[in-house]
């Protein structure tokens, strides 16, 4: 049983781990090269500043990928813990670095909590940051079962869902789902520098959604991209090919517009654009469909009669992080009533129904609804 831990690196992830496990009575020792950062994390309740007097049950290196090997080697040399893990978002190259750096690789298991926030640093940390989120473990053939068990116990305290993966498979997956999207968001954000004040006035939610993932911590992300360069480059090459198709077609369309070619010819030239857009819509539908199926529970809420009731209910659902686009309206001709249905994590369905009932809404868990899936970000 884990009673003591050391967390090296008190940014968003390290501090959130400290906050989460401290709720379970674990004494956490916080270390950071920036004393003010460690003391801020301690003031939030994530632990105490300073090294432990003896070995702790588990040490977590919450530092950039390039620093993990050195930090773990130093911790092992000091006999800091009985087992060690990290939280870096790149695993394959890191595993080799760690094996070369540490004296006892059996006590180490690679880890990556798949969660993030738009802000960094300890002040952005939350004890519930990892709840219901995947936490990848990449044990090697040399990893001891004791080390794995200790990390699994920490993951359980954080409320996350453990996922065992091969390091290379993990890196390929995050290149597609995280690393490349961050790069693309940054590329779009870079274009904004060339905009005029008039264009800024027209910036809507769509632009903010695209740019939300733009990199803010350049040093950290340079480190991540260096460590996962092959996988990220593969995703970006595919994106480059699609962009080349779009550019070729748009350039041709520009020529059509200037030359006055008949409209039916112009429509035929739009086929490559439509293909790219259709594949994008299919990809989005596939992801949403998977998320909906993964939740395995639905909540139905009756819309009360009267002006403004639907708007009030949508506001209540938004407070539960269910956006309007994720909600499916249903109308029962037999009962003569309108209701809204949305997908939720099965483990949260009861709590959500209770919260809605306390707010005065008629809500209940229901079986999966027919028709298109309606995944919710609850």
Of 49, 48, 54, give the one whose Cα is nearest residue 26: 48
Average pLDDT, the chain: 88
What Å distances lie between residue 128 and 66, 116, 228, CA to CA? 27, 12, 28
Local structure of 107: helix, strand or coil: helix
Helix (H) or strand (E) holding 189: helix 180-192
More confident site: 210 or 239: 239
Report the range of poorest mean pLDDT among 186-190, 313-317, 347-351: 347-351
Cα angle 144-148-153, degrees, rounded to a multiple of 5: 145
Kindly report, residue by residue over 293-310, the tens digit of the pLDDT: 665 678 899 998 888 889
Cβ contact 10:40 at 8 Å: yes
pLDDT at res. 257: 59
**Rounded Cα–Cα distance for residues 326 and 36 (Å):** 42
**Rounded Cα–Cα distance for residues 158 and 88 (Å):** 17
**Taking 50 as the threshold, does the pLDDT of residue 177 lie above it?**
yes
First to last CA, the chain: 31
Residues 6+ apart with CB under 8 A from 132: 159, 160, 161, 345, 347, 348
pLDDT at res. 371: 44
Mean pLDDT of 45-64: 96
* Burial grade of 13 (CB within 10 A; 0-12, 13-18, 19 or more): buried
Mean pLDDT of 287-293: 71
Question: Can you read off the two tokens belonging to residue 248?
Answer: 């070729």
Cβ contact 30:60 at 8 Å: no
Confidence of residue 259 (pLDDT cuts 50, 70, 90): low
Cβ contact 38:7 at 8 Å: no
Residue 296, phi-psi category: left (phi > 0), alpha (psi -120 to 50), beta (remainder) = left
């Amino acid at each position: 049983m884990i009673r003591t831990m050391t967390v090296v690196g008190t940014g968003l992830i390290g501090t959130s781990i400290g906050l989460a496990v401290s709720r379970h009575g674990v004494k956490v020792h916080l270390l950071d090269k920036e004393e003010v950062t460690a003391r801020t994390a301690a003031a939030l309740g994530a632990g105490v500043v300073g090294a432990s007097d003896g070995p702790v049950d588990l040490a977590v290196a919450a530092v950039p990928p390039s620093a993990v090997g050195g930090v773990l080697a130093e911790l092992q040399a000091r006999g800091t813990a009985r087992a060690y893990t990290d939280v870096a978002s790149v695993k394959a190259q890191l595993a080799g670095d760690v094996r070369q750096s540490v004296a006892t690789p059996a006590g180490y298991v690679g880890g990556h909590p798949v969660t993030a926030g738009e802000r960094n640093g300890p002040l952005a940390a939350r004890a519930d940051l990892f709840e219901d989120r995947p936490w990848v473990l990449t044990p090697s053939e040399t990893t001891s079962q004791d080390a794995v068990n200790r990390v699994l116990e920490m993951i359980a305290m954080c409320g996350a869902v453990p996922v065992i993966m091969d390091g290379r498979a993990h890196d390929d997956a995050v290149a597609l789902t995280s690393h490349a999207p961050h790069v693309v968001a940054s590329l779009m954000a870079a274009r904004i520098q060339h905009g005029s004040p008039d264009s800024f006035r027209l910036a809507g939610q769509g632009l903010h959604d695209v740019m939300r993932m733009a990199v803010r911590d350049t040093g950290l992300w340079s480190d991540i991209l260096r460590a996962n360069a092959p996988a990220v480059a593969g995703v970006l090459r595919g994106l480059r090919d699609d962009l080349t198709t779009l550019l070729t077609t748009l350039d041709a369309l520009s020529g059509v517009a200037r030359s006055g070619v008949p409209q039916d010819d112009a429509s035929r030239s739009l086929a490559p654009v439509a293909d790219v857009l259709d594949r994008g819509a299919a990809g989005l539908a596939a992801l949403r469909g998977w998320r909906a199926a993964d939740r395995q529970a639905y909540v139905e809420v009756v819309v009360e009669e009267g002006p403004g009731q639907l708007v009030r209910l949508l506001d209540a659902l938004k407070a539960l992080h269910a956006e309007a686009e994720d909600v499916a309206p249903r109308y029962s001709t037999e009962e003569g009533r309108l209701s809204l249905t949305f997908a939720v994590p099965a483990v949260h369905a009861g709590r959500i129904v209770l919260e809605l009932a306390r707010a005065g809404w008629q809500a209940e868990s229901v079986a999966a609804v027919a028709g298109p899936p309606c995944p919710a970000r609850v």
